[in-house]
Structures are given as C-alpha cells and as structure tokens.
Amino acid sequence: MSETTSIQDLHTKSLVIDAHNDAIVAHIRRGNISLVDENTINSNQHRGTISYLRGPVSPEEDAIGIQLNIPKMQQGGIDVAFFAVDVTRAWKNHLSYALDALGWFEAEVITCESDICIVRNASDIRKAKTEGKIGAVLTIENSEGVERSLNILRSLYNLGVRSIGLTHNPNTWASTGNDEGETGGGLTKFGIQLVKEMNRLGILVDVSHISERGFWDVLDVSDAPIIASHSNCKTLCDHPRNLTNEQLKAIAVNGGVVGITFVPGFITQDGWQNTPSFAQLINHIEYAIDVAGLEHVCIGSDFDGGGDLLKDAAEFPRISEGLNERGYSDEAIQKIIGCNILRVFEATCGA
C-alpha cells in the first residue's frame, strides 16, 4: 500500500470534525439550494428573515459556489461539522434571523435524514459515525442571537444549539468584539451571566472574534473548556482575529481547543491580496501545537464564510496529508482532525 493510500485510509476511518462553517446562510442566500444537490433550488420554499433581510449573494460570491454540503463532506471524509448562524448583520432581528436559519436547516435535515442528523452530545456523534451519517452541531455566531435573555438561551439549547460565539467583530451585550479591542473592554455583567449559564446548560463558549480582554474575562469566569473555533496564530500573522502565544497557552491550561482556519487573511499578512500557500496553513497548525500542545488544536475551516484556501470540503483530506508529510503520527493526526474537539465537546455538552 502506498503512503498516499495509507494516509487516505487513516483519514477515512478517523473521526473528522470541522469546528466552524457558514453553510446554512450561504445555502439560503443562494435560493434555498439543497444540502444534497446544489443544482436543486427551492427559492419559493422556506423563505423568511434571512432571504428578506440579506437578499441573494453577489454574482462574485455566487461564482465561487458552495464550499460545504453533504456530498462534499462525504467526499472529504468530514463526519461532524459545526453549522454556524452568524446573526451579526440582522440588525434588531437577531433572534428571528437565527430561528429562520435553524428552521431551514431542520427541514433540510429531515429531507436528508439518511445522510445527516443533528447531534447534541458525544454519544450522538459516535452513533452518527457508526451509522455512516454526518453529525451536525448547531451553533450561533454572535450572542446577540439570545437577545440579552437567559430564557432565550435555554430555549435555543432545547432546540439543539451547543455552541455560541460571544461576539462577532462588533461589540455585543455580552462583550467587546475584536474590532473594538483597543478600548480595553471585556465581558459585561450580562456576559458573565451568559457564560455561567452556558456552562450550566452544556453549551460551548466560543471566543473567536472576542476582544483580548474579553478572552481573559471568559477564562476567569468559565468552569468548562472553551473553544476558539476559527482562529490562527498571531505570531505568524498579526491580525486581531488571531491568538497570541499567551492566549494559546491559556486555552491549553483551560483544557480547550483552538480551531485553525482556512481564511487567507488570517494565515498571512497579505493573505487578502496574495493567496497563502498550503504549507503556510500547516505552519499555523504546527505553531499552535508547539505553543499550546498537541491536545489543544483542531480544525475550523470557515467554509462558506471566507475559508477559501481550500476549494471546498472535498479537499479536507489534504490536512491529514499535510500533517503526515510533516512527520506527525497517525495518533497525532487523529487528535488534530477530530479527537481533540470531541473531548472538549464531551466535557461540556455531555457524553
């Protein structure tokens, strides 16, 4: 058996988890295209808040196409994906926007129930893998989706939401976002309450996009491991969305994980103008491992949200191949592509 075939086999048999994508809104804004066939458009079905507030994607975005759907995930060997709903642009309609997205996704999952299911705990993930189904973790990106209400938080939990990003780039009721990080702001009183209630319920606290002060506040408050679902290393690319060495080390002490992302501008300083190399992406994975430790690094592609370094989810095995070429063992690769984030998910959301 060739080395290439061997690493492909390892990738296929391993539990592979992608900690962040924006596929739900991307599908809706392309006319409610099907999760199983991007040529099937249901433009008159399930129309709601997102369709009316955001409208269709631009011709330039549409030309790029969908990066993540069921066939592409199956081809790329992705067993579990965190399907995020970024509510940032839904001014004064954050909850409606989130519920519209989750309702559309639930309808799609019912239609495709032989291929995908919503997972709420680690047992659900393992069962889905055994049954050959993709496990979908429901995620809210930007805690404005809870409308400053712990009651709404509990309702979202009951709907299956298992991870919430406290901010996007702007400030929220919960915390200062990374766009305002220079002000020194962090968690608000509500943000402290929110983190504590998320811990109690079993919802992952996602610190991607939060200000640095907010990051440290979260670690002071949270009793559970946290995730930075799609953030890279600030030493390699000095961007506000990336993490310092001290933050990477703190995530390790907390028992959490950082999800290295495919967004070009978070990989190199000029990534928005000049496409980084694949090797530079692997450099971020290696650097995070060197600083935080092997147990605290995973992958958060940000497919359909800017994670364009890889064409689409079908190319996910390249991560395993790249790590193999750098000399990582089979066990180490399995931790990075799935087992580390599963450990954190189980510790927070339940076995």
Mean pLDDT on 313-331: 97
DSSP annotation of 275 reads P
Mean pLDDT on 237-251: 97
Give the range among 69-73, 196-200, 268-272 with minimum mean pLDDT: 268-272
Quickly state the pLDDT bin for 169 (edges 50, 70, 90): confident
In 3D space, the residue among 199, 220, 208 whose CA is nearest the CA of residue 257 turns out to be 208
CB 228 within 8 A of CB 208: yes
State the pLDDT at residue 43: 62
* Domain carrying residue 136: 3-349
In 3D space, the residue among 303, 297, 291, 224 whose CA is nearest the CA of residue 262 turns out to be 303
CB 304 within 8 A of CB 269: no
Quickly state the pLDDT bin for 45 (edges 50, 70, 90): low
331 phi/psi in degrees, rounded to 5: -65, -40
Number of domains forming the structure of the chain: 1
CB 304 within 8 A of CB 26: yes
H-run or E-run covering 81: strand 80-86
Q: What is the CATH number of the domain that holds 293?
A: 3.20.20.140
Half-sphere exposure at residue 85, Cβ-oriented, CA atoms within 13 angstroms:
31
State the pLDDT at residue 44: 60
Residue 305 CA to residue 21 CA, distance in Å, equals 7
Residue 22 structure tokens = 């924006």
State the pLDDT at residue 283: 98
User: Which residue is associated with the tokens 């600030």?
Assistant: 234
State the virtual CA torsion across 283, 285, 289, 291 in degrees, nearest 10.
Answer: 60
Residue 167 CA to residue 183 CA, distance in Å, equals 15
In 3D space, the residue among 49, 2, 51, 17 whose CA is nearest the CA of residue 324 turns out to be 2
Give the range among 2-11, 194-203, 311-320, 329-338 with minimum mean pLDDT: 2-11
Mean pLDDT on 199-211: 97
Q: Is the pLDDT of residue 4 over 60?
A: no
How much is the pTM? 0.96
Average pLDDT, the chain: 94
* Burial zone of 48 (CB within 10 Å; 0-12 exposed, 13-18 middle, 19+ buried): middle
Q: Is the pLDDT of residue 203 over 70?
A: yes
Quickly state the pLDDT bin for 339 (edges 50, 70, 90): very high
Counting residues of the chain whose pLDDT is more than 90, the rounded percentage is 86
Residue 307 CA to residue 276 CA, distance in Å, equals 12
Quickly state the pLDDT bin for 42 (edges 50, 70, 90): confident
Q: Tens digits of per-residue pLDDT, 52-106?
A: 999 999 998 888 899 999 999 999 999 999 999 999 999 899 999 999 999 999 9
- Reading phi first (left if > 0) and then psi (alpha if -120 to 50, else beta), residue 233 is in beta
Q: Is the pLDDT of residue 3 over 60?
A: no
In 3D space, the residue among 317, 350, 347 whose CA is nearest the CA of residue 8 turns out to be 317
Quickly state the pLDDT bin for 2 (edges 50, 70, 90): very low
